[in-house]
Amino acid sequence: MSVKKFDRDVLRRLLRYTRPYTAFLVLAMLSALISVLLTLLIPVLIGDAVDCILEAGQVDFTALARTLVFIGAAVAGSAVFQWLLAYFTNLITYRTVKDLRVQLFHKLHTVPLKYIDQTAHGDFISRVVNDIDQVSDGLLQGFTQLFTGVVTILGTLVFMLAANVWVALLVFVLTPLSLFVASFIAKNTYRHFRGQTAIQGELSGYVEEMVANQKLVRSFGYEARAAAHFEEINTRLYAEGQKAQFFSSLSNPCTRFVNAIVYAAVGVAGAIAAISGVMSVGQISMFLSYANQYTKPFNEITGIITQLQTAFASAQRVFAVMDEPAEEPDPENPAVLPHCAGEIGLSHVRFSYDPARPLIEDLNLAVKPGSRIDIVGPTGCGKTTLINLLMRFYEVDGGSIRVDGVDTRAMSRSGLRSLFGMVLQESWLYSGTVRDNIAYGRPDATMEEVTAAAKAAHADSFIRRLPDGYSTIIAEDGGNLSQGQKQLLCIARVMLAGPPMLILDEATSNIDTRTEILVQRAFEKMMEGRTSFIVAHRLSTIREADLILVMNQGRIIEQGRHEELLEKRGFYYHLYNSQFAHDRQEA
Amino acid sequence: MWKLKRFLGQFKKHLILGPLFKWIEAVLELLVPLVMAKIIDDGVAAGDSGYVLWMGGLLVLIAAVSLGCALVCQYYASIASQGTGTILRREMFAKVGTLSHAELDVFGPHSLITRITNDVNQLQLAVAMLIRLVVRAPFLAIGAVVMAFTIDVQLSLIFVIAFPLIVLVLYLVMSRSVPFFQVMQKKLDRISLLTRENLEGARVIRAFSKQASEQRRFAEASDDVADTAVRVGRLSALLNPLTMLIMNAAIIAILWFGGFQVDTGRLTQGEIVALVNYMNQILLALTVVANLVVIFTKASASAARVNQVLEMKPSVREEQTAPVSLEESAPFLSFENVSFTYPGSAEPALSGISFALNRGETLGIIGGTGSGKSTLANLIPRFYDATSGHIRIGGRDVRSFPFAQLRQLVSVVPQKAAVISGTIAQNLRWRDEDASDGDLWAALKTAQAADFVEKLPYRLESRVEQGGKNFSGGQKQRLTIARALVHSPALLILDDSSSALDFATDAALRRALKQETAGMTVVLISQRASAVRSADRILVLDNGEPAGLGTHEELLRTCPVYREICLSQLTAEEVSK
């Protein structure tokens, strides 16, 4: 088994994480050494004991008693140290893995948002949960079995050589046979296993897609075609799975066979040695139990190496995330705005998600304190991008954004973001109580303040109807609330935080029309004196805006008040009228 | 678990012969210590090398026959277990295909997926173990005790004491540590929940600068996982040392009391060695039995979950398979006092809905969230059956149609734009496998999707990734509309399916539908007043009850709910325009 350089590097890096637990590591190694040596001593002692019981009238009871006491002591010692070994390795592994997991999670908060937007969430979660679990299994097995395995092999060799060189050599020559058989089987199995895993993945993917869309399947009467496709994959899975299972299940009987041959050879050789007087029956019994045990560590090590390789591959996936470049650090002495007026200026802002496709080139804008800015335009025109830049979720490629004349890059990110209250189309709540979710931005808020915010967001009445009122735990993914109710909670969250500026990105898209009117009123009250940015694709709410930005393909192509823009008869005019175009034709 | 027995039916031969061969192997294995005892007592004691070699040859022969038997068994096991798994998967998948929406809601897609994949794998493993180990391991354990009895009854008492002790330790340790695995799983689920939350809420968390408190929450959950793991580890680490302790204590007892027996000449040295060997065998065999118990416990839980699916009766059933002819004179679609209550719910989701729609007409349905719009749409193609009242297409109750005919007549564009991985063409051919490229382009054109599909490098053959990730929300929505239009349905249901389109595209789509698909009856559900206002008839829903039915102008005059909706979205001037 060649350990590639890649594996060595990963291993070295992984071991760095065990450094805080070096003391435990040393204790674990020591326990392993003692327990293995004592375990190996037991067959020798049993052999000695057997030699005390030769035949009728020839039993040396004093020697037997003494040997049995030794056996008892060795067994007890071995048991204690075996347990200690397991205990220490558990401790090292799970603590190490915990540190690794926490660091990986920490990375989630330091990478640029671009990374999160581009990463499949399932993949990231799988790294945090499954990959780290693999690493933990690998470490656990590696620490316990790899080390004890090596010690066992070496120890057995020494003990056997000490007892009888020739029989020891016989065992020594024959055991590689079992390794050879095992690796031959493993190689052949691997091919089928890989095939099986690939098809199993294909099958799971298909099941996932079809079952998740089962309602669609039914509405299109697609059941039979789906079943046929599934059966085709299923049949292939059977063919490959049956072979994989059969070949892999060969390894146990085959190594057992080799073991039996070694056992027979040792028995015969030992017996003949005993006949010629160079060995005792007790030593035969010792050799027999060694012969039984000797191949075990070899097989285990083969297994561990495969497992370690899986663990290294997983560790590599974890490290890949850790190596992602982090966001630029905040300036050392960030500018602070204790009394933010809400004046915003964008000058010559340049930005694109993909360098090959320029999006915003030279965007200029001056926003007076307390004004309400509505952003409109067709899907994908850059409305949300503007918000990403204001909040510094993404950094501008050129130009600058200033709040009250201060470049946002001179502030800390948290300082800048605390100036804005944000409600997005996708309402996000965490799995805590309703109260804690509303108080997310101000955990120290009193219950009165929380209810006041909920009332302002028209959420109070439905919250009171929930089984535990404000203490109701929001189920995973907010399952026990409707989309609209979730959005109302997000609105209450911002109302409680009361920031100097507001960003509403389709904030009422999931709320039914009548509640929307009420929430809209609450927003209007909140927006008084606060600079607000509003993205809406319902043009009906836009008429009160102080300034409408019409965006198309990353550029602000028109700006002004509603009536001014209509008079221009430009892009906005067409956009606004398109919603009635159909009806015009009819009329 | 026994309910699933029928799936093993066709593997009867494998289920009998597999364990039989395994049993032969086990018998031979039990003989080995006896042969070794012979070598020591008769060969070594008599100094007969020839005898030793003969017996050595016998051992090799036993090994070879054992190997042969084991291979036969493994072969049968692989066929029977993988075969059972394959059949189970097929039946499960087919069963899911027959379930109606009500049953799908009960299970949820995620649970169905695990049942078809993980649970079936668990059962597959159980079948393999059933053949490979269920006969072998207990037989070896009990066989070793029996063999000990044949050697010496008195010393066998040591076995009789050690055996239950080992079983007891296995039971005590495992019954305490195995349930922890479920606890661990729950704690790991929390880790994945927190990670998911932080991925999805990255913007909100950063907006509120809550990174530190989120990390604290995560660290607590990770600590919890680590602590539990260490606790379980400490417990299960007892298993090996304790069983080894008992076994070696038994060996010490065998040697000590055996010493007296040998001294009096009742036993030989070789027989003592054999007894020690049998003791070793018992421990190995019992450990395997303990693992088997775990595997079968898991498998029986999986079996129960699989059974739940297989035994589920679809609530919406096909009454007959012969096509039904439509009455030309009857209204094309009619609801007569239809009510619907979701299973397990006390309040009806819809009540007292009546309307009639002629061929080629468009019905607009408008109302707030939760007013029952989608529920109404789901009743027409029988995703759910109405609790009372009648729904007729062409004068025939929808319940009298065979499923295939109903699905050909009615085409639905669901609220959530879902496309399937494959090519665009494959997605579009869901309604009609044999549709020509021309048909597909026509549908794309009507759905306002032709322009962007034309710009794709492979046009109709362009890849659609799982979940349609490589298309925007608006593009996906237009593709799902095109898919519903292929093989011109007589009735098209649009369930708020243009929400991701901007106003210009939405208007163009409605215009195209009107022009290109004359004669097609349309049910159009929307939140936007501008979308439904030109429909031939508009049904206003409020909390599951009809609040108004008529044209835009009629409703403006008579229906306060409708007027309110319109006024909130359009200016007064636009409303009356």
Contacts of B70 in chain A (CB under 8 A): 252-253, 256
Confidence of residue B370 (pLDDT cuts 50, 70, 90): low
- Inspect the interface and report whether the beta carbons of A121 and B196 lie closer than 8 Å: yes
* Same domain flag for B363 and B304: no
Locate the chain A residue with the closest alpha carbon to B574: A580
In the prediction, which pLDDT does A586 show? 36
How many other CB atoms are there within 10 angstroms of residue A3's CB atom? 12
Query: In this predicted model, what pLDDT tens digit does every residue of A495-525 receive, in sequence order?
Result: 888 888 888 887 766 666 666 777 777 777 7
The tokens for B471 are 């298309």
Helix ranges (H only) for B39-152 are 45-46, 49-98, 101-107, 109-114, 120-132, 136-151
Find the radius of gyration of the CA atoms of chain B.
Answer: 36
pLDDT (0 to 100) of residue B69: 92
| Percent of chain B whose pLDDT exceeds 70 | 96
Span A522-541, mean pLDDT?
A: 76
**Residues of chain B neighbouring A414 (CB-CB closer than 8 A):** 209
3-state secondary structure of A528: coil
CATH code for the domain in which residue B106 is found: 1.20.1560.10
Does B219 reside within a domain?
no
Work out the minimum CA distance from B328 to partner chain A, whole angstroms. 25
Could you tell me if residue B225 is inside a domain?
Answer: no
Whether residues B447 and B572 share a domain: the answer is yes
d(CA A221, CA B407) in angstroms, rounded, equals: 6
Task: Give the pLDDT score at A378.
Answer: 66
B404: nearest CB among A56, A221, A230: A221
Taking an 8 Å cut-off on Cβ atoms, the answer to whether A513 and B527 are in contact is yes
Please indicate, yes or no, whether residues B345 and B301 belong to a single structural domain of this protein: no
Contacts B206 to A, Cβ<8 Å? 109, 113, 391, 393, 413, 417
Assigned domain for B183 exists: no
- Rounded to the nearest angstrom, the gap between the alpha carbon of residue B453 and the centroid of all alpha carbons in its chain is 34
- Is A281–B270 a contact, with Cβ atoms under 8 angstroms apart? yes
User: What is the rounded CA–CA span in Å between residue B103 and residue B112?
Assistant: 11
Q: Measured on CA atoms in the order A184, A185, A188, A190, is the torsion positive or negative?
A: negative
Two tokens at A107? 């990375």
Per-residue model confidence (pLDDT) at position A514: 65
Question: In the numeric block, which tokens belong to residue A481?
Answer: 């609330």
Distance from CA of A397 to the nearest CA of B (A): 20
Q: Which amino acid is at A160?
A: M
The parent domain of residue B418 ranges over 333-576
Q: At what angle do helices A281-322 and A223-275 cross, to 10 degrees?
A: 150
pLDDT value at A188 more than 70: yes
Name the residue among A154, A165, A160, A171 with its Cα closest to residue A266: A171
Whether residue A69 is predicted with pLDDT greater than 90 in this model: the reply is: yes
Closest CA to B518 of B359, B373, B383, B399: B359
- Are B29 and B122 members of one domain? yes
Selecting from B96, B503, B565 the residue whose C-beta is nearest the C-beta of A578 gives B503
Q: Residue B412 is nearest to which of A102, A219, A256, comparing CB atoms? A: A219
The domain tally of chain B equals: 2
Stretch A351-369: mean pLDDT: 82
- Would you state the pLDDT for residue B345? 67
Contacts of A383 in chain B (CB under 8 A): none
The yes-or-no verdict on residue B234 having pLDDT over 90 is no
Average pLDDT on A333-361 reads: 83
B415 and B307 share a domain?
no
Question: Using a CB-CB distance cutoff of 8 angstroms, which residues of chain A are in contact with residue B249?
Answer: 72, 75
Q: Higher-confidence residue: B504 or A154?
A: A154
Asked, for residue B378, whether it belongs to a domain, the answer is yes
Answer yes or no: do B277 and A83 touch at CB < 8 A.
no
**Is B482 among the domain residues?**
yes
Residue B464 forms beta bridges with which residues?
A: B422
Q: What is the pLDDT of residue A509?
A: 64
| Interval B403-419: pLDDT, tens | 888 888 888 888 777 88
B184 and chain A in contact, CB less than 8 A? no
Note the pLDDT of residue B216.
92
Rounded to the nearest angstrom, the minimum Cα separation between A398 and chain B is 22
Q: How confident is the model at residue A582 (pLDDT cuts 50, 70, 90)?
A: very low
User: Are A59 and B266 within 8 A, CB to CB?
Assistant: no
Classify residue B193 as exposed, middle or buried by CB count within 10 Å of its CB (0-12, 13-18, 19+).
middle
Interface contact B473, partner A, CB < 8 A = yes
The reply to whether B302 and B347 lie within a common domain is no
Judged by DSSP in three states, B233 sits in: helix
What CATH number is attached to the domain comprising B447?
3.40.50.300
Over range B337-353, report the average pLDDT: 81
**Taking CB atoms and an 8 Å cutoff, what residues of chain A touch B411?**
220
In a domain, B388, yes or no: yes
Residue B509 CB burial class (10 angstroms; 0-12, 13-18, ≥19): buried
Closest-approach residue (CA) in chain B for A207: B113
The Cα–Cα gap between A572 and B504 comes to 11
Domain shared by B16 and B107, yes or no: yes
Residue B167 lies in a domain: no
CA distance B199 to A2: 38
Bridge partners of B412, per DSSP, are B493
**Measured between alpha carbons, how far is B267 from B257 in angstroms, rounded to an integer?**
11
pLDDT of residue B62: 92
Look at residue A98 in the predicted model and tell me its pLDDT: 92
Cα–Cα distance measured from residue A106 to residue A324, given in angstroms and rounded to the nearest whole number: 12
Q: Note the ipTM here.
A: 0.81
Q: Are the Cβ atoms of A79 and B241 closer than 8 angstroms?
A: yes
Reported as a single tens digit per residue, the pLDDT across A7-59 is: 778 888 888 888 889 899 899 989 989 998 998 888 888 888 888 888 777 78
Are B311 and B337 contained in the same domain?
A: no
Residue B203 lies in a domain: no
pLDDT of residue B223: 93
- Subunit contact B202:A116, Cβ cutoff 8 A: yes
Residues B305 and B416 placed together within one structural domain of the fold: no
Of chain B residues 222-281, which have a CB less than 8 A from chain A?
222-223, 225-226, 229-230, 233-234, 237-238, 240-242, 244-245, 248-249, 251-252, 255-256, 258-260, 262-265, 268-270, 272-273, 276-277, 280
- Residue A581: pLDDT above 80? no
A261 chain-B contacts, CB cut-off 8 A: 60, 63
Say how far apart CA A109 and CA A116 lie, in whole Å: 10
Quote the pLDDT of residue A579.
Answer: 53
Quickly tell me which residue has 């994908």 as its tokens.
A380
Across the interface, whether the CB atoms of B206 and A108 are under 8 A apart is answered no
| Residue B295 sits in the same domain as residue B382 | no
Largest CA distance in chain B: 120
Chain B, window 375-404: residues with a beta carbon less than 8 angstroms from a chain A beta carbon: 381, 383, 403-404
pLDDT band at B249 (very low <50, low <70, confident <90, very high): very high
Q: Residue B525 pLDDT more than 70?
A: yes
Residues of A in contact with B229 (CB under 8 A): 90, 94, 136
Asked if B193 has any chain A CB less than 8 Å from its own CB, the reply is yes
Chain B residues closer than 8 Å to A580 by CB: 507, 530, 574, 577
Query: Residue A429 CB: number of other CB atoms within 10 A?
Result: 24
Closest alpha carbon to A53 in B148, B263, B265, B43: B263
Span A132-148, mean pLDDT?
A: 82
User: A227 and A234 in contact (C-beta within 8 Å)?
Assistant: no
For tokens 């009867």, name the residue: B12
> Does residue B376 sit in the same domain as residue B482?
yes
Q: What is the pLDDT of residues B130-174, one digit of tens each?
A: 888 888 888 888 888 888 888 888 888 888 898 889 889 888 888
Separation of alpha carbons A53 and B395, rounded Å: 99
- What is the C-alpha to C-alpha distance for residues A269 and A276, in angstroms, rounded to an integer? 11
pLDDT digits (tens, 9 = 90+) for B82-99: 999 899 998 888 888 888
B309 in the same domain as B339: no
Q: What is the pLDDT of residues A80-94, one digit of tens each?
A: 999 999 899 889 989
Structure tokens at A285: 């019994």
B263 vs A53: CB contact, 8 Å cut-off? yes
